[in-house]
Chains A and B, each alone.
Chain A
Amino acid sequence: MNWFVVQRLLGLLLILFSFTMLPPIGVAFLFDGRAWLPFAEAFLASIAAGVIVWLPVRRVRKELRLRDGFLVVAAFWTVLGTFGALPLLFSEDPRLGFTDALFESVSGLTTTGATVLVGIDELPKSILWYRHQLQWIGGMGLIVAAVAILPMLGVGGMQLYRAETPGPVKDTKLTPRIAETAKALWYIYLGFTIACSAAYWLAGMSVFDAICHAFSTVSIGGFSTHDLNVGYFDSAAIDMVAIVFMFVAGINFSLHFFAWRYVSIRHYARDPEVRAYFLVVVVVSAVVVATLVAAGTFTSPRDGILNGLFQAVSIATTTGFTTANYSDWPGAIPVLLVFSSFIGGCAGSTAGGIKVIRWLLIYKQGVREIVRLVHPSAEIPVKLGSHAVPYRVVDAIWGFFSVYLIVFGFMLLAMMAAGLDQVTAFSAVAASLNNLGPGLGDVAIVFQTGDAPKWIAVAGMLLGRLEIFTLLVILSPTFWRR
């Protein structure tokens, strides 16, 4: 382990992160002038901490090794969650304890979107902005940003990039230089954010709401500036904008890159993962809409269709925006929706969940077993499009899948041991591990539990965002053995 290299990078990243405390100060002065002090304090605290960590080792120039990459990413997300909680901890309104502040901050950064806050409409604008900004930064990942702007990372950048970005196959670079790849991703992300803000504004939101919601839409976060979430606006146009951008943000960003580079949408149609993703979203939406209309949950069929579609896309992409309290919906729909969040978006997107590509490959392996029963001596590769998937990837997916389930099981038990009822516990774990946000029962809109479940949820959100292994690997003895 190159401790000094890890320390230097952590310090640098923390310094980088501290600058994200500055925009809320601007927002505070632009709007109500309230709550700028907590951000100034938090800025000074984090930049001071960053400088203290970085200064003694600033001259260390060593190549980042594979293990260091894992450590940097895992440690940084933990540190980031803690320092991100500072402004919320320092603020007068809302007055949060450490647990709640940390929960809110991690929920934001991991783009989960679960909240402990009530009376959001009344909060200072700077706090609202900051929550959305956390989601926006967490969506593409601050480490990807660091890879883009810190030139000294080199190959080490690839290690970090791999440890942070989601998906089973991470060797595909968009450009030869990792820094250029990271830059391209952020440009695309920024482009979507601007487009989304404009669309929300045109659909009738105020500029502030439009930008905030664009942040939490393209990052597949789910925070809103209102207690009623997107339901507050009660506007079909806004719902449609949200649906489109949630869906787009759930697609692999490298496909967006190709679309932009070659000015063509062929890549989307040809990509097996996107097709499966599209299919999942369409099927889930159809079932939800049909049930809602049949059961007459909404007075008009139009409302049923709109709400059903919105909720299906929002939950299936793991965004967690709500227009209605879906936990009260009839039949199996609430659980179906929570299940669909396990699928999540595509690899390399900002969405959470297990990711469509893994499910697709697991499904294909199931099909392969059936074919094998009929043709015992057949050689059947698992193919994605026209390419055979390497065995290593297939193995890794099974490993990931089983660990995901085991982690889920343990966290479910822990939640129940902490006093939650079964439905609440199940949905709370699903909502945090899949970076979804709202669950069922006591965690449907606001996360109303004791402190212990919140800590479990914080762990779940981090595990989910870093796809479990990045965190788990540093807890393993193998990692620390020399």
Chain B
Amino acid sequence: MRILILGAGQVGSSAAHSLSREEANEVTVVDMRADVLRELQDRLDIRTVVGHAAYPEVLERAGASDADIVIALTDSDETNMVACQVAYTLYHTPTKIARIRSAEYMRADALFTQDAFPVDVRISPEQLVCQYVEQLILFPGALQVLDFANGRVRLVGARAQEGGLLVGRPVDSLKEHIPEAEGRIAAIYREGMPLAVAPDTVVREGDEVFFISERRNIRRFLDEMRMLEAPVNRVVIAGGGNIGARLAHALEHDTQVKVIERNPERARVISEQLNKAIVLVGDAADEDLLIEENIDSVDMFCALTNAEEANILSAMLAKKLGARKVMALINRPSYAELVEASGTIDIAISPQQVTIGSLLAHVRRGDVVKVHSLKRGAAEAIEAVAHGARESSRAVGRAISDIELPPGAAIVAVVRGEQVHIARPDTVIETDDHVILFMTDRRRIDRIEALFEVGVTFV
């Protein structure tokens, strides 16, 4: 697939990184900064073009005329929208994705139609990150909460801890603990490496366990992994930027929220937007301020500023001062691994990883509805729709045990209409089923794509 990425910022670079790793993609990145592009080209097998992302001449040079997909990820909403318009009008690019940050544009759905701004998919990294963090606060103890099939099914990642019912027992015993609810373990990571999960695999303390179940049963399964955690009632958000303010807004009705913002002007702006939350002017790494605001009784401390180093340090400080759980927004994968492995920070949120999934869904061949990138891009959870009949598809009409999957991949759930079926070996895939897969090795993604492509004979 020929992919044109506009903007080589954090999201743009990580998208280029992620997409160019796949053999089938040809990636071109456009940006105004020649030095950034040169650095990117040194690391990745991509083509780079220097210039303004919305100018027809620049898009022409970048090969827009035969691009399959344009992903506009520049800092400016307006540039992104115009770039999609130019790509559509002049080059008839089939798929156009734009990052739209501003909520004002985001709300105006009528604006994004083929005869206005032809943007097929709007993504807002801030909004995605905000939703992601919100889920984590709703489910304390979870490392990741990912929605499939419009939220009917959820994939949850959690670290197994002493006190969890399943810890020290084989996976099979899950059925005895929760006989009435359906669910299963999708993957187990031990010391960072995926395990081949068999019914008699024993879950150990410290394992990172991914399980899938219907939305309403998530809490039951979470209890299997760790001691029941008290719900989060007090939240401190460090950094009142786009993400921080949005999150505060989403949480302030049900929880007690404090936002720490360094810039007094910005603090005033967000204090006007928020109703119940308290906005504090100050430094998130100021020990006295944190103690003053009873950091030791805080359930969740979220460091969400733009500076990742500051996030790491303030989260570590908060943890030391007694915050129950801390999370930090960290862009660099190497930092994220470092702090998560050392255990000083409970959850490292990688904005790129959260965002990249929504891009990947459109790059995949076959009818892929949703992609979540996991484990810093090494693993992937996919929701794909099976089409065709037994003759034309490699999945439809077959029991799961008969479907040839690459190593490291597993079908974990099937959603048929409103019904959620947790996958068993004898579950038969029917046409129009939403199939949810978990892959510990995403390099085999092409074989998964092939499963959900309809053969030529079926038209």
Contacts and interface: CB of A to CB of B under 8 A. Distances in A.
Given A171-B38, A390-B34, A155 B43 contact: yes
A158 interface: yes
Which one of B20, B44, B45 has the highest number of Cβ atoms from chain A below 10 Å of its Cβ?
B45
A173 B43 contact: no
Contacts of A66: 42
Nearest to B62: A176
User: Chain B, interface size: which category?
Assistant: 10 to 19
Interface string A125-155: 0000000000000000000000000010011
B40 to A, nearest CB: 11
A154 B23 CA distance: 9
Contacts of A158: 41-42, 45
Contacts of A357: none
Interface string B40-61: 0111111110000000000000
B314 interface: no
A155 B42 CA distance: 7
A175 interface: yes
Contacts of B45: 154-155, 157-158, 176-179
B18 to A, nearest CB: 14
Contacts of B20: 176
Given A171-B38, A390-B34, A176 B43 contact: no
A429 B283 CA distance: 68
A180 B26 contact: yes
Contacts of A154: 45
Nearest to B21: A154
A177 B26 contact: yes
B444 interface: no
Contacts of B34: 390
A151 B44 CA distance: 14
B66 to A, nearest CB: 10
A176 B44 CA distance: 10
A393 to B, nearest CB: 11
Interface residues of A, number: 15
Contacts of A157: 45
B398 interface: no
Contacts of A390: 34
Contacts of A176: 2, 20, 26-28, 45-47, 63
B16 to A, nearest CB: 10
Contacts of A171: 38, 41, 48
B93 to A, nearest CB: 16
Nearest to A159: B42
Interface in B4-41: 20, 23, 26-28, 34, 38, 41
A16 to B, nearest CB: 20
Contacts of B27: 176
A173 B44 contact: no
Nearest to A153: B45
A154 B44 CA distance: 8
A157 B45 CA distance: 8
Contacts of A151: 23
A159 to B, nearest CB: 9
A382 to B, nearest CB: 15
Nearest to B43: A155
Contacts of B28: 176
Contacts of A178: 45
Interface string B362-403: 000000000000000000000000000000000000000000
A157 B42 CA distance: 11
A47 to B, nearest CB: 29
Interface in B250-290: none
Interface string A385-411: 000001000000000000000000000
A175 B41 contact: no
A158 B34 CA distance: 18
A175 B25 CA distance: 12
Contacts of B48: 171
Contacts of A175: 26, 47
A180 B28 CA distance: 13
A411 B47 CA distance: 39
A157 B34 CA distance: 21
Interface in A170-213: 171, 173, 175-180
Nearest to B4: A176
A154 B38 CA distance: 16
Given A176-B28, A390-B34, A155 B47 contact: no
Contacts of B26: 175-177, 180
Contacts of A173: 41, 47
Nearest to A151: B23
Given A155-B45, A173-B41, 17 more contacts: A66-B42, A155-B42, A155-B43, A155-B44, A157-B45, A158-B41, A158-B45, A171-B48, A173-B47, A176-B2, A176-B26, A176-B46, A176-B47, A176-B63, A177-B26, A180-B26, A390-B34
| Top-9 shortest CB links A-B | A176-B26, A176-B47, A173-B47, A155-B45, A176-B28, A154-B45, A176-B27, A177-B26, A176-B46
20 contacts: A66-B42, A151-B23, A154-B45, A155-B43, A155-B44, A155-B45, A158-B41, A158-B45, A171-B38, A171-B48, A173-B41, A173-B47, A175-B47, A176-B20, A176-B26, A176-B46, A176-B47, A176-B63, A178-B45, A390-B34
